[in-house]
């Protein structure tokens, strides 16, 4: 699931949590337009857990570090 928050931080709102429906337990991405931030969450009932994001640059750096080890 992906959506944006035009004027607030990319944190699940009460409405997001209440309407998670079929997306419960799956990655839920929110883009905060105000500060150009992307965040990932897992919503399962009333439980909300932040998920880490890996950018292509992070993946390349990890691969280079692993290859040199």
Q: Roughly how many angstroms between the first and final C-alpha of the chain, as a whole number?
A: 37
Domain that holds residue 48: 2-68
Q: pLDDT at position 1, please?
A: 85
Q: What is the pTM of this model?
A: 0.76
Determine contact, residues 40/29, Cβ cutoff 8 Å. yes
Determine contact, residues 10/39, Cβ cutoff 8 Å. yes
Q: pLDDT at position 67, please?
A: 59
Q: Is the pLDDT of residue 19 over 60?
A: yes
Q: pLDDT at position 59, please?
A: 58
Mean pLDDT on 55-62: 66
**Domain count of the fold of the chain:** 1
């Amino acid at each position: 699931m992906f959506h944006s928050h035009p004027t607030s931080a990319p944190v699940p709102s009460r409405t997001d949590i209440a309407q998670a429906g079929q997306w419960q337990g799956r990655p839920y991405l929110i883009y905060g337009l105000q500060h150009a931030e992307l965040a990932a969450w897992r919503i399962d009932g009333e439980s909300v857990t932040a998920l880490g994001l890996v950018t292509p640059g992070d993946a390349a750096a990890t691969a280079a570090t692993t290859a040199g080890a």
